[in-house]
Chains A and B, each alone.
Chain A
């Protein structure tokens, strides 16, 4: 039994077990509120696994290729082509059934309903919403401008504070700088924690900081700052890992110490890409700051949230226009600066 056989059994077993489980629940449970009995589910799933493995074995033995076999067999194995049509071959059948079953299950889960979508009252109220959005209440413009400036500054401050921290951390997160066992340990720990921080969405950070320092722009700024430190450090360190060795060797050969070597051998090579990534990060932060406002991070996002909760669509329309304008301008601006830096 070689590697692709194992891959085939695993794939087919899980494939069957998922189909099996979905069919089982699709047929036997009706209310979506009732929570699955974990023990029973496990039983169904493992039953599916066993059945799948068996089918995989039996099908392939009879020369009817399963989906797992088709996916994982290597070029030589495939050389013996099967002349069955898609529908008549086992794997084609398996593929279509899996897809249909998943589609139906997904539809049920998302409560997909054409009746709701085409509901007359629903369409009418959506049309009304769009109608109101399309006639923004310009009376809100002064407030919107004040708030969008707040948002821009939240993003700006978050970027500015993140920059020096990320700059320093990035050298410790670059493989080519962190040579030797101790250094590599530091590198590993740092990389891992950065990945953890980055995998937590900024909106979650905003909630955490809203609890910590209170709802408002400060919480939003801190959330974006944390996110920016993690992202910038990663991007910076990847640039550092791409520098050419020549200038570094040249500086080392003069008898320079490690800090001087980094400053003269590495920094000049990375400074422009660093600036470019930082401006881009500010641009991203302005957009994120809007979303973070929803979770109590201050700025235009917070009032956008309030007005939409109160269904004041004329006001929301005004806010959306202002946000779109600012994002558009910043996008052009940052692209322009980054182009000039190349």
Chain B
């Protein structure tokens, strides 16, 4: 058995306002895995992902990335970590007024000098890579269109291309399909799966719909009030587990 790419030990996060968003969360992620995190709104899913790439500073605990302890990093090391763990968001978080190509290129900011990037002088290789990643997510023909003129699903694919530009080993996806319609939802999830299978990038993805979880996840972690209450394969989530995770009155909805 190979070594985990990420090992999280007793991770705890208390926000300055006193909210305890994560309590003693421990788990490991294997290279190439498609891990899905589920849980009610407010259970701490976003906090968990953002702690991994230092968008949120954990209060205590430990995060091992490969062999490296990245729990307490200097700002420079944190930037290095972020480059290797790309992230996509529910609201896509693109630059609305920039073109699709320019947005994809921002994935290389970490490897581009400040002045060069300000004057938009990305290398030839950066540009050809950007085109090929846009091709991979099927949106190359939109390269010169402004990002805010695309549909939600298309924007999320641009965000995936931007993430891939970072040549990451891990892709964090924070509810990537929560603001998309069911059909588009599958398109985006299929691209994530493709990235996972074809490029061997480890994916950690927060999701809401169990039907999606069954379809895409290799393994599932369920959070409830900042604690892990379930860990296992998707088909182990019985009706009983479902009620335990989502509460007694919850009913499962399907995404076709």
- Residues of chain A having any CB pair with chain B under 8 Å: 246-247, 249-257, 259-260, 263-265, 268-269, 271
B82 within 8 A of A: yes
B197 within 8 A of A: no
Chain A CB within 10 Å, residue with most, of B80, B92, B106 = B106
Chain B CB within 10 Å, residue with most, of A246, A252, A254 = A254
Q: Report B-chain residues with C-beta under 8 Å of the C-beta of A249.
A: 55, 89, 93
Q: A247-B96, A260-B118 are in contact. Are A254 and B89 (CB under 8 A)?
A: no
Q: Report B-chain residues with C-beta under 8 Å of the C-beta of A265.
A: 95
Tell whether, in the assembled complex, residue A254 and residue B83 are in contact, meaning their CB atoms are under 8 Å apart: yes
Q: Report B-chain residues with C-beta under 8 Å of the C-beta of A269.
A: 96-97
Q: Report A-chain residues with C-beta under 8 Å of the C-beta of B95.
A: 247, 250-251, 264-265, 268
Tell whether, in the assembled complex, residue A268 and residue B82 are in contact, meaning their CB atoms are under 8 Å apart: no
Q: Report B-chain residues with C-beta under 8 Å of the C-beta of A268.
A: 95-98
From A246, A247, A254, A271, contact of B109 by CB (8 A): A254
Q: Report A-chain residues with C-beta under 8 Å of the C-beta of B83.
A: 254-255
Q: A246-B93, A249-B93 are in contact. Are A255 and B166 (CB under 8 A)?
A: yes
Q: Report B-chain residues with C-beta under 8 Å of the C-beta of A259.
A: 114, 118
Q: A264-B106, A264-B109 are in contact. Are A253 and B55 (CB under 8 A)?
A: yes
Tell whether, in the assembled complex, residue A253 and residue B86 are in contact, meaning their CB atoms are under 8 Å apart: yes
Measured CB to CB, the closest approach of chain A to B48, in angstroms, equals 15
A-B contact pairs, 28 of them (CB 8 A): A246-B89, A246-B93, A247-B96, A249-B93, A250-B89, A250-B93, A250-B94, A250-B106, A251-B95, A251-B109, A252-B55, A253-B53, A254-B86, A254-B165, A255-B79, A255-B110, A255-B166, A257-B109, A257-B114, A259-B118, A260-B114, A260-B117, A263-B117, A263-B118, A264-B95, A264-B106, A268-B96, A268-B98
- Nearest 8 Cβ contacts at the A-B interface: A250-B93, A255-B110, A255-B83, A256-B109, A255-B82, A253-B87, A246-B93, A255-B79
Measured CB to CB, the closest approach of chain B to A179, in angstroms, equals 12
Tell whether, in the assembled complex, residue A254 and residue B93 are in contact, meaning their CB atoms are under 8 Å apart: no
Closest residue of chain A to B97 (Cβ to Cβ) is A268
- Residues of chain B having any CB pair with chain A under 8 Å: 53, 55, 79-83, 86-87, 89, 91-98, 106-110, 114, 117-118, 159, 162, 165-166
- A257 CA / B112 CA spacing, docked (Å): 10
Q: Report A-chain residues with C-beta under 8 Å of the C-beta of B79.
A: 255-257
Identify 7 new A-B residue pairs, CB closer than 8 A, beyond the known A256-B106, A265-B95, A268-B97: A250-B94, A255-B81, A255-B166, A256-B79, A260-B109, A263-B117, A269-B96
Tell whether, in the assembled complex, residue B117 and residue A254 are in contact, meaning their CB atoms are under 8 Å apart: no
Measured CB to CB, the closest approach of chain B to A271, in angstroms, equals 8
- A253 CA / B109 CA spacing, docked (Å): 10
Tell whether, in the assembled complex, residue A254 and residue B110 are in contact, meaning their CB atoms are under 8 Å apart: yes
Closest residue of chain A to B165 (Cβ to Cβ) is A254
Closest residue of chain B to A250 (Cβ to Cβ) is B93
Tell whether, in the assembled complex, residue B82 and residue A246 are in contact, meaning their CB atoms are under 8 Å apart: no
Closest residue of chain A to B115 (Cβ to Cβ) is A259
Measured CB to CB, the closest approach of chain B to A99, in angstroms, equals 49
Q: Report B-chain residues with C-beta under 8 Å of the C-beta of A271.
A: 97
- A260 CA / B105 CA spacing, docked (Å): 13
- A246 CA / B81 CA spacing, docked (Å): 20
Measured CB to CB, the closest approach of chain B to A274, in angstroms, equals 13
Measured CB to CB, the closest approach of chain B to A97, in angstroms, equals 52
Q: Report A-chain residues with C-beta under 8 Å of the C-beta of B94.
A: 247, 250
- A254 CA / B166 CA spacing, docked (Å): 7
Q: Report A-chain residues with C-beta under 8 Å of the C-beta of B87.
A: 253
- A340 CA / B169 CA spacing, docked (Å): 45
- A169 CA / B206 CA spacing, docked (Å): 39
Q: Report B-chain residues with C-beta under 8 Å of the C-beta of A253.
A: 53, 55, 82, 86-87, 89, 93
Q: A255-B166, A264-B95, A264-B109 are in contact. Are A250 and B114 (CB under 8 A)?
A: no
- A255 CA / B80 CA spacing, docked (Å): 6
Tell whether, in the assembled complex, residue B93 and residue A247 are in contact, meaning their CB atoms are under 8 Å apart: yes
Q: Report A-chain residues with C-beta under 8 Å of the C-beta of B110.
A: 254-256
Closest residue of chain A to B98 (Cβ to Cβ) is A268
Q: Report B-chain residues with C-beta under 8 Å of the C-beta of A257.
A: 79, 109, 114
Q: Report B-chain residues with C-beta under 8 Å of the C-beta of A252.
A: 55, 82
Measured CB to CB, the closest approach of chain A to B113, in angstroms, equals 10
- A253 CA / B107 CA spacing, docked (Å): 9
Tell whether, in the assembled complex, residue B106 and residue A251 are in contact, meaning their CB atoms are under 8 Å apart: yes
Measured CB to CB, the closest approach of chain A to B223, in angstroms, equals 21
Closest residue of chain B to A248 (Cβ to Cβ) is B93
Chain B CB within 10 Å, residue with most, of A249, A256, A259, A269 = A256
- A254 CA / B82 CA spacing, docked (Å): 6
Measured CB to CB, the closest approach of chain B to A245, in angstroms, equals 9
- A253 CA / B85 CA spacing, docked (Å): 8
